[in-house]
Amino acid sequence: MHKEADIRKPLILGDKTYRDITDDVIRPIESKAPRTWYILILIAGVLAAWGIGCIIYLLGTGVGVWGLNKTVEWAWDITNFVWWVGIGHAGTLISAVLLLFRQKWRFAINRAAEAMTIFAVMMAGLFPLIHMGRLWVGYWVFPLPNQFGSMWVNFNSPLLWDVFAISTYFSVSLVFWYIGLIPDFATIRDRVTKPLAKRVYRVLSFGWTGNAKAWNRFELVSLVLAGLATPLVFSVHSIVSFDFATSIVPGWHTTIFPPYFVSGAVFSGFAMVQTLMLILRKAYKLEEYLHVKHIEYMNIVIIVTGSIVGVAYITELFVSWYSGVEYEAYAFLNRATGPYWWAYASMMTCNVISPQLFWFKKLRTSLMFSFFMSIIINIGMWFERFVIIVTSIHRDYVPSSWTYFHPTWVDIGIFMGTIGIFFVLYLLFSRYFPVLPIAELKTILKSSGKNYKENYGHGKDYWDSQSEH
Partner 1 sequence: MNYQISNKAKKVTLGLSAIGLVMVVLGFFHQKDYVYADYVNEHALTIRYNGDASDEMQNDLKIEMNSILNSKGYKVDFHDANHDESHNEGHASHGFEWEAHIESNHEGEHVNHGHHEDISASIVEMIDSGEISFFDTHYRRFWSNLLVNGFFFFGIALGALFYLALHYATESGWGVVLLRIMEGIMSAMPVGIVVLLIVFIAGSLGFHHIYPWMDSDVMDPNSSHFDKLIYGKKAYLNQPFFYLRVVAYFATFFLFMKWFKKKSRQEDNEGGTESHFKMYRRGALFLVFFAVFSSTMAWDFLMSIDTHWFSTLYGWYVFSGIWLSGMVMVMMITLYLRKGGYLPFVKESHIHDVGKWMFALSFLWSYLWFSQFMLIWYSNIPEEVQYYFSRINDYKFIFFGTFVINFVFPMVFLMSRDTKRSAGYLIVIGLIIFIGHWLDVFNLVMPGTLFDQWNFGLLEIGMFLMFLGIFVYTVLKAIGKSPLLQKNHPFLEESKHHEF
Partner 2 sequence: MKEIMEEKVIYAMYEDDDVLLNGAKALVAEGVHISDVYSPMPIHGIDPVIGVEPTRLGIAAFLYGLTGTMLAAIGLRYFMITDWPMNIGGKPSFSLLENIPSFIPIFFEFTVLCAAHGMAITYLLRNKTLPGMPPRNPDPRTTDDKFVIEINESENSKHSLKEITAMLKKTGVVEMEEKVIK
The binding site for partner 2 (CB under 8 A) comprises: 1, 17-19, 22, 151-152, 154-158, 160-161, 164-165, 168, 171-172, 175-176, 179, 182-183, 186-187, 189-191, 202-221, 224-225, 228-229, 231-232, 235, 239, 242, 438-440, 442-443, 446
Beta strands in 230-300 (DSSP E): none
CB closer to partner 2, 177 vs 340: 177
295 binds partner 1 (CB under 8 A): no
Decide if 285 contacts 279 (C-beta within 8 A): no
- CB under 8 A: which stretch of 3-11, 31-39, 44-52, 419-427 binds partner 1? 3-11
Residue 449's SS3 state is strand
Question: Which secondary structure element, helix H or strand E, spans residue 261, and what is its range?
Answer: helix 257-283
- CB under 8 A: which stretch of 28-36, 47-55, 247-255, 406-414 binds partner 1? 247-255
Q: How far is the CB of 147 from partner 2 (least distance, A)?
A: 15
CB closer to partner 2, 5 vs 248: 248
- CA dihedral of residues 194, 200, 204, 206 (deg, nearest 10): 80
Among 324, 362, 400, 455, binds partner 1 (CB under 8 A): 324
Among 42, 151, 279, 325, binds partner 1 (CB under 8 A): 325
Q: How far is the CB of 244 from partner 2 (least distance, A)?
A: 14
Among residues 114, 102, 246, 107, which one has the least CA distance to residue 169? 114
Q: How many CB atoms lie within 10 A of CB 248?
A: 7
Task: For 325-345, give the secondary structure using H, E and C.
Answer: CHHHHHHHHHHHHCCCHHHHH
Q: How far is the CB of 114 from partner 2 (least distance, A)?
A: 14
362 binds partner 1 (CB under 8 A): no
d(CA 109, CA 98): 11
Q: How far is the CB of 151 from partner 2 (least distance, A)?
A: 6
Q: How far is the CB of 68 from partner 2 (least distance, A)?
A: 25
Q: How far is the CB of 182 from partner 2 (least distance, A)?
A: 6
The sign of the CA dihedral 285, 277, 116, 205 is negative
Residue 339, contacted partner among partner 1, partner 2, none, CB below 5-8 A by kind = none
Among 216, 323, 337, 401, binds partner 1 (CB under 8 A): 323
Decide if 310 contacts 352 (C-beta within 8 A): yes
Q: How far is the CB of 283 from partner 2 (least distance, A)?
A: 24
- CB under 8 A: which stretch of 136-144, 206-214, 315-323, 406-414 binds partner 1? 315-323
Residue 197 has phi, psi (to 5 degrees) of: -60, -40
Residue 165, contacted partner among partner 2, partner 1, none, CB below 5-8 A by kind = partner 2
Instruction: Quickly list DSSP for 70-115.
Output: SS--SSHHHHHHHHHHHHTHHHHIIIIIHHHTT-GGGGGTHHHHHH
Among 308, 357, 412, 428, binds partner 1 (CB under 8 A): 308
d(CA 169, CA 118): 9
Instruction: State the helix-helix crossing angle for 18-30 and 158-189, rounded to 10 degrees.
Output: 110
Q: How far is the CB of 253 from partner 2 (least distance, A)?
A: 12
Using CB under 8 A as the binding rule, the residues of this chain from 98 to 137 that contact partner 1 are: 100, 102
For residues 252 to 291, the per-residue mask of contacts with partner 1, x marking binding by CB under 8 A and - elsewhere, is: -xxxxxxx--------------------------------
d(CA 21, CA 333): 55
Residue 203, contacted partner among partner 1, partner 2, none, CB below 5-8 A by kind = partner 2
For residues 130 to 169, the per-residue mask of contacts with partner 1, x marking binding by CB under 8 A and - elsewhere, is: ----------------------------------------
Residue 9's SS3 state is coil
18 binds partner 1 (CB under 8 A): no
Residue 161, contacted partner among partner 1, partner 2, none, CB below 5-8 A by kind = partner 2
d(CA 58, CA 55): 5
Long-range Cβ contacts of 128-132 (<8 Å, 24+ apart): 128/81, 128/159, 128/162, 128/163, 130/55, 130/58, 130/59, 130/77, 130/414, 131/63, 131/77
Chain residues binding partner 1 by CB under 8 A are 2-8, 100, 102, 231, 234, 238, 242, 245-248, 253-259, 307-308, 311-312, 315-316, 319, 322-325, 466-467, 469
